[in-house]
Amino acid sequence: MFSRTAFSAFRPIARPTSLRPVRASAPAFKLPSILHARLISTETKAAIDKAVGSAPVVLFMKGTPETPQCGFSRASIQILGLQGVDPKKFVAFNVLEDPELRQGVKEYSDWPTIPQLYLDKEFVGGCDILMSMHQNGELSKMLEEKGVLVAADQ
């Protein structure tokens, strides 16, 4: 599903047009953000698009829901369980199985850490965001509005 591809996208570093000394009040020269990230391959982007659309609730995590491989992934699974997310509307992807997926998902969302939660193809955030939303009630409201919770009669 996630194939390895070579990345040959190189962008030269932008150089200041002047060699004059910079005054102390002038802002420091900053590298363009494109230099800080690899460009995601078309194949990886398409695979992640497909994964994100595979269920209403998608979690990219380290390990599996049954055996999380980091504390943040474990906490994210616990939060989704406490919220009552319907297992039939949830899918998780183990980023430890594929280095291309692990790096690609970070670039796809422009979020540096894993786990990452998507709700109806929309990026919600990582564990810290989930924890905050869980504590202030926003997550419960969002999950209810999206209809991804276990029905009360079940």
| DSSP letter, residue 149 | B
Q: Which residue reads 């564990």 in tokens?
A: 127
Question: What CATH architecture does domain 38-146 belong to?
Answer: 3-Layer(aba) Sandwich (3.40)
Average pLDDT (132-147) is: 96
β-partners of residue 35 are none
Has this prediction a pTM greater than 0.85? no
pLDDT for res 13 = 40
Note the pLDDT of residue 135: 96
Residue 16 pLDDT greater than 90, yes or no: no
What's residue 151's pLDDT? 80
Main-chain dihedrals φ then ψ at residue 122, nearest 5 degrees: -110, 130
Listed by start position, the domains of the chain span 38-146
pLDDT given for residue 103 in this prediction: 94
- Tokens standing for 5? 């591809």
